[in-house]
Each structure stands twice: as C-alpha cells, then as structure tokens.
Amino acid sequence: MASQQVVGFVSLDDLSLELAASLLRSGYAVQAFEISEPLITEFLKLGGIMCASPMEAGRGVAALIVLISHADQMNDVFFGDEGALKGLDKDAVVILRSTLLPSYIQNLEKRLSDCETAYLVDVYVSRGMSELLNGKVMITSSGKSDAIARARPFLSAMCEKLYIFEGEVGAGSKVKMVNELLEGIHFIASLEAISLGVKAGIHPWIIYNIISNAAGNSWVFKNHVPKVLQGNTKHHFLSTFVQKLGVILDVSKSLTFPLPLLAVAHQQLILGSTHVCGDDDSASLVKVWDKVLGVSTTDAANEEMYSPEELANQIACKSSSVNRIGFIGLGAMGFGMATHLLRSKFCVLGYDVYKPTLTRFAEAGGLACNSPAEACKDVDVLVIMVTNEAQAESVIYGDLGAVSALPSGASIILSSTVSPGFVSQLEHRLMNKGKNLKLVDAPVSGGVQRASMGTLTIMASGTDEALKSTGLVLAALSEKLYVIKGGCGAGSGVKMVNQLLAGVHIASGAEAMAFGARLGINTRMLFDVITNSGGTSWMFENRVPHMLDGDYTPYSALDIFVKDLGIVSRECSSRKVPLHIATVAHQLFLSGSAAGWGRQDDAGVVKVYETLTGVVVEGKLPVLKKEAVLQSLPSEWPVDPIDDIQKLNQNSKTLVVLDDDPTGTQTVHDIEVLTEWTIESLIAQFRKSPKCFFILTNSRSLSSEKASALIKDICRNLQTAAKSVESIDYTVVLRGDSTLRGHFPEEADAAVSVLGEMDAWIICPFFLQGGRYTIDDVHYVADSDKLVPAGDTEFAKDAAFGYKSSNLREWVEEKTGGRIPASRVTSISIQLLRKGGTDAVFERLCSLPKGSTCIVNAASERDMAVFAAGMIKAELKGKRFLCRTAASFVSTRIGIVPKAPILPKDLGINKEKNGGLIVVGSYVPKTTKQVEELRLQCGQILRSIEVSVDKIAMKSVEEREEEISKTAEMADCFLRARKDTLILTSRELITGKTPSESLEINFKVSSALVEIVRKITTKPRYILAKGGITSSDLATKALEAKCAKIVGQALAGVPLWQLGPESRHPGVPYIVFPGNVGDSKALAEVVKSWARPLRLSSTKELLSNAEKGGYAVGAFNVYNLEGVEAVVAAAEEEQSPAILQIHPGALKQGGIPLVACCVSAAEQANVPITVHFDHGTSKQDLVEALELGFDSVMVDGSHLSLKDNVSYTKFISFLAHSKGMLVEAELGRLSGTEDDLTVEDYEARLTDVNQAQEFIDETGIDALAVCIGNVHGKYPASGPNLRLDLLKDLRALCLKKGVFLVLHGASGLSKELIKGCIEQGVRKFNVNTEVRKAYMESLNNPSKDLVHVIASAKEAMKGVVAEKMHLFGSAGKAW
C-alpha cells in the first residue's frame, strides 16, 4: 500500500517541495536531507521528516529522489561515508534530478550496477508551458524497464504529465537540451523580429499584439517579448543563455552534428554580453540589444499606442460601396478568396494564366477574363493575389496590364507577400499615373480553407481614402482585419516580421528534431514534450508532425519561404539591421530548394539536416504494451458519476444520434432506431420524450457531397419537428467509426450550417468494447496485449476514408486540410478526468473559446462517465456542443447500465425451425479472418454461398442478375432445410482508382446483397449482417425496416435489434456485426450461440423444467421409424417435450441406423426431444452407446450387489459426465418382462432409502429409477400396489441431493396413481407396453398397402403417446 511506503529526498529546491507535497497527498511518507534551513523548514511544515545525512534519507525508502547540480557532488552524495547508498535497500529506485550531461548519468548507472544496489531513473522536472498544463509539474524520465516499473507509481504521483523514455538513462537531460536549443533560437529570432519591425516604422507593441496571435508566435515570443519591451529583463539573462547553449554546442561537436541556427544564436548572445557596460547590473536587455543591432526599440515602445482592430472597425463603418471587383491570380488562395466574394454577392471579374482555373471560376459564377486589362474593366476595386513581386509587376505594368485599363479613381488591393519597399515604390508609381489610383497594401495569412471561408487574417495599410474605398472587400475576406499606421508598406512590414519568425521556427524545429534523432530520442515523444514546454511555437506544432510522418504534401511550399525570407534578407540589408538568425534560416531553405525540394511542404527543410547527417526524423508512434500503459495512468476518479448522469438527464436535452452506419447502437439497449427521418416520424419520437433515439443515416456509404446534403436535410427536419413539440430541446451526436473512418469534417460542417455555430466540436472515438483508447491525444486500437496507433492499422488504409495521423490533433488538421490546425485543437486529458472529476470537465468546457475543437482522452468507462457528467452540466448552463463520437459516449451520456449479451432464449425464438441468415459484406482484414474462423468452427452446421464481386460489380447486367438470382435461390433452399446460411462476398478486395470510384464499387456490392436478401422468401430465425454499410442497407432496403428496437448486444460491441412491425420480417432478431469489432473467433462465437441447436434441449433440461413446472416427461421406447415418428408427431401436436428411448434389445435389432433415426428426428423436431439409452446392463454396451449420439443413458446395475452396482454405475457416470450426458441409474429391482428380459417376483426388491443416499453420493448420478412396487410389463390382476410412502421419503432425499426421480413401468398405472407419483416428485415415466400393444393391434387390421400399414401403426401409437402426455402434464410445456 502507498501509505506503507517512504520516499526520501537528498537536497531540496522549491520544485522539490511541490513534489513532496504531491507524494504526501497520495499517501506516501517523505523524509529529506537538506542543509538549507528555509527549505527544510518548509519541508517540515508539509509533514515531512528531517534526516541528518544522505544515508539517513535513503534508509528504508522505496524511492530516493536526488537533486544534483554539479558532477563533483555525485561521489559524496552516493558513495561518501554517509552517502545515500549506505542506507538504501537493494530493491529501492533512485530518481535522479540533475542538470548533468547524459554521460555523467550513464556513468552513475554503471557504478550503481557494479555495486549491485538500487535501480536508477533520471528525470527532468519542469513546469508545463502549454495552455493545458499551464504551470503544472511535468516529468520527463528515462531508464531501463525494470527501473521504470519501480519508479512509475512515484513519478505519476508527483506530476500532472509524465513522459517515459524506456532504455538508456539520460533522455531527460537530452530533452532538456533540445528544448533549450529551441528557446535560445526563438529568443534571438524574437529580438531580430522586433528590431526589423521597429526599423520598418511599426510600433513594437503592435507587432507583439498581432504576432502573438499569428503563425509567427512562440512561447518565448509571447512570454519574453513583453518583459524585454518593458525593460524588465536584465543583461544577466544573456550570461545564463550563453552558458546553456555553449554546453549544447559542445555536445553537438562531440557528435559531429551541425547546429547552424543555434551556433549563430550563441554568437549573438556572446556579442550582446560584450555590450554590457562594466558593472552596471541595472542595464536592461532591450538597451543592450539596441546597441547590438543599432535600433531604438525603447523609444519606439514608448510611442503612443493605437488599436489596429479599432482602426479597421472605423474604416469598415465609413467604407464606400463596391459593385464590381477585378481579381487577378486565381491560385489556391486566390481562387478561394474570389469565389468567397462571389458568394458575398459581389460581381467579380477574374483572370489567371491557367485556363482550367478560369473555367472553374466561370462555373462558380464569376466572369472569366482573358487578360489583366479585361479583368479591370469598369471595376471599383482590383485585388491582386499573385506569387511574387515579378508577377505583380507584370500584371500591373506588362502587356495588357491592369494599370492601363483601370478606371480613374479605382483602388488596388495588393495581397501578395512582397517587400515593404516594393509596395512603397508601387504607390508612388501609381500616383504618378494621374488617374487617382489608390493602393492598399494588404497581405493575408490563413491558408486555402480560410481563404474560401472568408476568415483570413489581413494586415492592411494605406491612405485613409484608399482604405475606405476597399473596406467592404477587406471585411468580406477576413475574420481578423488589422489596419496598420505608416502608409503603404506597413502591412507588408508586419507580414514580413511574421514570416521571419515563422520561417525561423520551421527551420529551428527541423534543427531540434534532427538533433533529437541524433541523440537517440524517440522523436514522437520528443515532439509531445516540446509542445508542452518553452521551446514550442505555432509552426513547431503545425509543421513537425509533417516531418514525423515523412509527409511533405505541400500545404505551403518550401520555395515560399525562400521568397519570404529573401524579402527579410533584402530589407535587413537596406535598413542596415543585421539579422543573423533569419539569414541563416534563409540559407537552409535555399539549400532545400537547391536539392529539388522547393515544391514540397516547407517542413521538408528537415531533409537538409537528414541528408547532411544521415539521421531520420520520421518516427512512427510506438506500439505500446497495453497493461503497462493502463497501469501507468492515474487512478480513476473515485466516484462513479452514472447516478448523477441519470439525475441530470431528467432535465437535459434529448440525445439525437445520427449514426453513419448501424453499428453505433453497439453499447445501448431499450432505445429506438429510425431508418427514416420524415418530420412526422421525428415528431412522433419527440412526443415520447425519449432520453435518446438513433437515426440511421448510413452516410458512410455515400459520397461526401451526398452525405453533407443528407445531414442538412435531417437537421432541418429535426428543427421543424422540435418546434412542433412543446418543451423539447436536443443535442446532435454524429456517431462515427471508432477507427476514425467517415465523413469528417463534412458532416460536422453540414450540421453546423443548419443548427448554427457550436461552442465546441467534441471528438471522442473511445470505445472500450472494441479496444479503442485515446491516451495523450493519440488514438490506439488494441490488438491482443498491444496498443497500436490507429494510423498504423488496416483501418487507416481504407480506400475511401484513409488517413495517416494517429494523434487526434493532427488527424483533425489532416481531415480539415489545414483549416483547423493541430495547434488550435484542445483536449481533455485523462489526468484532468481522473484528478479533477466532473467539475474540472465542466470548467474546461465552459472556458473554451466559441468554435473550438476538443478531443476527449479516455481509457475506461469511468473516464467516459466523468466527461459525460461534466458535459451535461455545461449544456445545462447553456453551452452547445456537436459531438463526433464512437458508441461508448452515447451509452454513457444517457446513463445506460450495460446488461449481459442477449441469447435466443431471451427472445423466445428457440422453437423457430428455419435456419439463420448471415450476410458478410465487410472487407477489412479482421472480417476475413473472422469468416475463416467461422467456417472452421461451424462448417458442420453452416452452408456457405460465395458471391462473386467481379460478377456483381464489374461485369454485365445479365451476369450480375444471374449471380444474384442463383444466390437467393440456394439460400432459400438451405434456410428451409433448417440450415444456418452464410452469404459472403468473395474476399478479393476490388478498389477504384479514386475514393469516389471505390465508393461506387462498394455501392454495387451492397446493392447486390440487398437484392439477394429481397429475393429470399423464407423467414430466417435470425439475421446477422457483417459490416456497417451492409447492415444498414439490408435493414432499410432489403428488410424495409423503418423503426427497430435496440434490444441489447449479442456480444460486447455487437448490437441486436428486433425488427419493427412494418418490416418484411416483424420481430426477427437482427444482429448488426461491425466489421472492426472482436477477435478472430468473435463471429463464430455469435453464430454458435444463435444457431439453431442440434437439440432444442438436453434430457437434464427437460427434467429440470419438469421439476420447476411440477409435471413429468414421458420416455417412450421406440423400435422403428413408425415409433419414432409417432412420438415426435404427438409431441409437436401436443406441444410437449418427450424422450425417445432405446432398449438394448431394440438396439440389437435396429443397430446404429435406429439411433441415427432418433437423433435426426430430435434435431428436426420443433419441440424439445432427446434420445435416451435405457437399461444398460452391459458395460460394453454402455461405453459404445456413449459414442452414438445419445443425450442420456441409464446404467442398470440393479442385478448386482450394492457394492458392485456402485462401482459399475460410478465408472459409466464418470465417462458420461465428461461428455455432458445425464446419467440415470436403478436401485432396487423391478419384476416383470421387458424386451425379453424377465425378472421373477422373488428377485424383485424395493429401493432402500439409506442405500439410496449412499448410492447417490458415491456415483454422482443425475436421476434415480426407483422400485416402489412398480413392474415392467403387465401388472397382476389385483392391480398395482405402489408404496407412495416410500416414494415420499425418496423424494425428500432426491430433492436434497438435486437428483431427479424416475419411475419405470408406467403402463397400466391409473390416472390417480400417476398424479400421485407426480405430486411426490416423479419427473420421468418410462412407457413401453401400451405403445407396443397399440402397434401390434394395428397390424391385426390388414390394409391395402404397406404404406397404409405404416400409417395405421403410427396413428395408433401416436394416440397412446398423446394420451400419456396429457396424463403426465407435459402437454403444452414445450416452451
């Protein structure tokens, strides 16, 4: 227990006190050695124990945390006379906090190993710098797996975020170096950026306010620049940085690894330190830097401030009307901007050199022009969005250029990224034209998606008149519009400063990750650590994932930064301000372009380092050990919120789940699912005031456009229906695949377009039953005992919905095409769920900016419940969320408590005769493995029909129809023959050249399966559909279901519906088996549990039911086919269970064919029939009988002594029970004759109660045949003389022992005696004589033909059997 463990500290600092406090809160005891009196005093206040030496601090501890700042301390602390090792137990773990280089730590580990004492883990303890962690303790640790295993509980208790690098110690120090590398480069870049901005005449605080919310932002820029501008950072800061970066450069030299950006940052810091005047301790860093770069930042910072946003608002209010716009440059960004202006009801004339783009523009409603001049005809405003200055010069002043055609007084918006100098010169040239042409310098930022949505960031500058004439256009294109004072060129100046920082941050990210790879650190984990540390930046978080994925698809081409940093280089030269970091970054991008990577993504600059050094930055997320990961997480929130959820739901909104395939119902029960969404059907649902209902959209089978249109249609109908029902409010959940396939973000966008903007999109693919976990924002798929990143699974390779990213932040960016960058995606961590509970979730959700995207991490149902409770509370406060989730969220959100899997008996379908229908359309490899296992395990009871995908999807209509008809006809035959029937598509996957072609093939396959099922006329016992699209199409199109009830699950994660009354097969169970659920045996497991059993019951079940119902079951001796058919026919007519009984004499005559006849009849019957071997007096006969298919046997040792009877019966009982067979035995002996076996009266003896007890205990039998005066054959003329008093005593014994009572010789007993015996517990009567007699007498009435003889005999026997069934009370008790 934690309360019994002690943790020691050697040396303390302020952070140590916080670690100790956390350990105390977690139930550990803490003790410490520290020579600083203030620190030890604070430690004692926490509740710690003071120690006199390191040795004492280590005595009796499970973990010892040692703080060392200098290598020369190590020997005394560990190996001195009073060193820590003297007090440490051998199984204790040493947790080393230090600033030492990895080599020192590795040397310590070797010395500890040589001493055969202690385990070593090194840690880098810091405070999280991200918005999520925000000052909370973060620990990066490393060590061998056994050391980590011992240290993990203590590390977890001390921090909010734990990173573990298993393997060599020293990773903590290495990560620290990489982070400090980035901080150093970012710091110098920030100073250069501010200096360049000041030289360009832009107020430094304006630069700060804009850049800190733009792509050029970094943690260092945001947090250090204000202190620098305020003069609060002193020059001592330089010395510290010089020392830290010098150590990193020494390490890089030892590794022969170039760090050009860090090297120049280090030199800049050294240069700055040389400008400090003597012993002037008060000198601020900003003044020092002004001397280094020759700028006056201090004076500029003290100039009067203004608000660029407020200026933009003023301009917009005074803007002139604009009727006609020219647009030159319809590239990726320009096309989006121009078409957005069209949608904003402007008339737009467009020109581009690429003719296909002009065609697209015309199709979008624009006026396509053949030259720049034509695009300027009669326009009020001309927007220019070309690549560079040369192109801008050409379209304005070249042949058929704009300037000659522009009407007098027109305005030009130049949105290209060009140098401020170019813009200033252009303004002067336009003024000299004498046409009163006005210029607005308005570079943009935001990417292609934001361009098309009109949500760009625009930095505009120009004269007031120019800005007013273009204000409406600028406002239409932007979400953030800044108006920068300083005239034309100021806007480009701000953009230039932003690009300086953005370019340096991409290049520094490449340098840092390449260095990390050279240090041997897992680059994926390194990235995660840095994003929560001071070395992070917007570009680091956005571009490094591309490096890690090795994906250089150009979101922004590398050559763009060749151009943009080229502008910076020219401007710093012309303005006489040295920018060392920026120019080196420019050289790196130039190197990448020279290597041929210019058109690849700008993250490709990392290839410069990879090519020079041979390292590989690309790093797949590791496959994790499931148990180790789950155990490393904090303990679950101690209180189960499910009761709170159920209470909150009494006042919360109805959950409407739009399910993109039917498998989303896999965690709920007693909920309705609609397959139509008419306003009338939705009103009917809302009037029931349900806590939840599903709408099956099956949109995953549609194209993106059709799926979006469908979601909009449903949302509009929901709005209309809700307005028609009083006091109804609802929340929409887009239930999607737990392996991230589906139309995201298209469906979410469609829903929002109708329902309005949400406070947040919630992304929650956790699904416990399917083994889907989200941990540290990475989504995993469990595979046996491993956790595999989702992006590395078969599901990520889906032809229509494939993806690369496992980190859900990056997945959002990938799926939105960069519209929602990873850096803007927030998350709710497992740490928050497990340490903060529902209130922390509530506060987190309420604090999200409107329009956020939020990932939910979860590794247990409790995590999900904590989140759901917090979300409901936020909704009750007025927050609106749109959820894109897997199935687990839905059941938790509505407070459903899971119930056991549903079996056929729960729905009462045991008596149905027809076979079940299994249809497999899913192509994922998991399904193929499951089908193989199904055929292997169930081949004997299953009939398979394979449908050729080639014929139904790729061949002629005639071949398709032939394949469909043939399959349906065969299935009909098999189902009527009571055989479970598997229809599956051929397993060779056929895909199209594009995702849309693949969807079309999927549609053809799915529609063929629909036609096959529609043509099947036989009503199946149950239907199982494998695969989401398959199950949806079959339900809606083949079975015509409009509403179904979700009964529960057939297996964890496998929904079970009951079809509604309007469907083709009302009430038939419909099993929706997802393509991605379960192990290889899961499908076989479900089919075996749902397949019609070979026998509807066992003899034991028959007698158990009789015991519960207070009746008896007849066991009828049979000798031939007529006897078998007579018993079965009577049982089916009377709806009674029955036992077909074969005597050894009959077996001798009829042999195995007679047994086979009985077994087959029992299997084909629609009531419970079992087969019993009677009176086995020979051990050989009984052993052979055990292998013939009997359900039960009677061991007849009544002719033996008690001792021999026990031995004989016990032997057979052991063998029979191993096969699951019921064993009946006889104690006492009946007189009379049965099948040539005669027992004389003098040999008969009654059953002795005392012997019966011993007999039952010794043999373990299930049923006891007793002798109470009953006889085989005919009773004497005086009639039966049964000892019911003895029967009563035997009943008491058997009831106590759980043994059934059996009475042989039921023929000839009166109704009263039969009823008396039943009342005294007899549950099985053997009947032979009267049935035989009826058979023999029927033969005395000759018929015309043998078939008539058989029919007559059968009817005679059936009458006797039916009469006995009524007498025994079993009639009507089949079910």
Cβ pair 1063, 1047 in contact under 8 A:
no
Q: What letter represents residue 261's amino acid? A: L
Q: Which of 198-207, 994-1003, 1019-1028, 1261-1270 shows the lowest mean pLDDT across its residues?
A: 994-1003
CA 50 to chain centre: 48
Going through 864-952 in order, the beta strands assigned E by DSSP cover 881-885, 917-920, 942-947
When pLDDT is averaged across residues 489-515 and rounded to a whole number, the result is: 96
Paired tokens of 245: 């970066």
Q: Which of 113-122, 332-341, 362-371 shows the lowest mean pLDDT across its residues?
A: 113-122
When pLDDT is averaged across residues 510-537 and rounded to a whole number, the result is: 94
Looking at residue 85, its pLDDT comes to 87
pLDDT digit string, tens, across residues 1328-1363: 888 989 998 888 876 667 878 888 889 999 999 999
Looking at residue 1237, its pLDDT comes to 47
**Nearest-angstrom CA–CA distance, 1199 and 1243:** 9
pLDDT digit string, tens, across residues 735-770: 998 999 999 999 999 999 999 999 999 999 999 988
Looking at residue 235, its pLDDT comes to 62
* Angle 873-879-884 from CA coordinates, rounded to 5°: 90
CA atoms within 13 A on the CB side of 210: 34
Burial call 22-36: b when 16+ CB within 10 Å, e when fewer: bbbebebbbbbbbee
**In the structure, what pLDDT confidence band is assigned to residue 160 with cuts at 50, 70 and 90?**
confident
Paired tokens of 151: 């240290």
Average pLDDT, the chain: 90
Cβ pair 361, 349 in contact under 8 A:
no
**In the structure, what pLDDT confidence band is assigned to residue 1267 with cuts at 50, 70 and 90?**
confident
Per-residue DSSP letter, 370: S
What is the enclosing helix (H) or strand (E) of 250?
A: helix 236-254
Q: What are phi and psi of 878, to 5 degrees?
A: 105, 0
**Nearest-angstrom CA–CA distance, 1205 and 1226:** 9
**Nearest-angstrom CA–CA distance, 133 and 437:** 52
| DSSP per-residue codes, 679-723 | HHHHHHHHHT--SEEEEE--GGGS-HHHHHHHHHHHHHHHHHHHH
Cα–Cα distances in Å, from 1165 out to 111, 843, 909? 79, 63, 14
Looking at residue 2, its pLDDT comes to 40
**In the structure, what pLDDT confidence band is assigned to residue 90 with cuts at 50, 70 and 90?**
confident
- The percent of residues above 70 in pLDDT, for the chain, comes to 96
Using the structure block, give the residue that is written with the tokens 């797949």. 620
pLDDT digit string, tens, across residues 175-209: 999 999 999 999 999 999 999 999 999 999 999 99
Q: Which of 284-293, 380-389, 1154-1163 shows the lowest mean pLDDT across its residues?
A: 284-293
Looking at residue 941, its pLDDT comes to 83
Q: At residue 411, does pLDDT exceed 50?
A: yes
pLDDT digit string, tens, across residues 44-63: 999 999 999 999 999 999 99
Q: What letter represents residue 1130's amino acid? A: A
| DSSP per-residue codes, 1206-1234 | HHHHHHHHHHHHHTT-EEEEEESB--EEE
pLDDT digit string, tens, across residues 1135-1171: 999 999 999 989 989 999 999 999 999 988 888 999 9
Looking at residue 1243, its pLDDT comes to 45
Paired tokens of 834: 């497990």
Looking at residue 1278, its pLDDT comes to 62
When pLDDT is averaged across residues 576-584 and rounded to a whole number, the result is: 93
When pLDDT is averaged across residues 980-996 and rounded to a whole number, the result is: 79
Looking at residue 964, its pLDDT comes to 93
Burial call 947-957: b when 16+ CB within 10 Å, e when fewer: bbbebbbeeee
When pLDDT is averaged across residues 544-557 and rounded to a whole number, the result is: 89
**In the structure, what pLDDT confidence band is assigned to residue 1238 with cuts at 50, 70 and 90?**
very low
pLDDT digit string, tens, across residues 1035-1090: 989 999 989 999 999 998 899 999 989 999 999 999 999 877 888 899 999 999 88
**In the structure, what pLDDT confidence band is assigned to residue 236 with cuts at 50, 70 and 90?**
low
Cβ pair 197, 204 in contact under 8 A:
yes
Q: At residue 1, does pLDDT exceed 70?
A: no
When pLDDT is averaged across residues 974-978 and rounded to a whole number, the result is: 88
The packing angle between helices 236-254 and 260-274, to 10°, is 150
Looking at residue 955, its pLDDT comes to 85
Q: At residue 693, does pLDDT exceed 80?
A: yes
Closest by Cα among 110, 38, 113, 101 to 68: 101
- The percent of residues above 90 in pLDDT, for the chain, comes to 63
Q: At residue 1239, does pLDDT exceed 50?
A: no
Q: Which of 96-110, 414-428, 454-468, 556-570 shows the lowest mean pLDDT across its residues?
A: 96-110
The more confidently predicted of residues 978 and 466 is 466
For 1279, counting Cβ atoms within 10 Å of its Cβ (0-12 exposed, 13-18 middle, 19+ buried), the class is exposed
Q: What letter represents residue 1299's amino acid? A: V
Q: At residue 253, does pLDDT exceed 50?
A: yes
Alpha-carbon dihedral sign for residues 1158, 1160, 1166, 1170: positive
Looking at residue 337, its pLDDT comes to 96
Active-site residue list: 495
**Nearest-angstrom CA–CA distance, 1374 and 1166:** 9
pLDDT digit string, tens, across residues 309-344: 999 999 888 898 999 999 999 998 999 999 999 999
**Nearest-angstrom CA–CA distance, 648 and 875:** 10
**Nearest-angstrom CA–CA distance, 297 and 303:** 10
The more confidently predicted of residues 662 and 14 is 14
**In the structure, what pLDDT confidence band is assigned to residue 996 with cuts at 50, 70 and 90?**
confident
Closest by Cα among 403, 263, 278 to 328: 403
When pLDDT is averaged across residues 659-669 and rounded to a whole number, the result is: 84
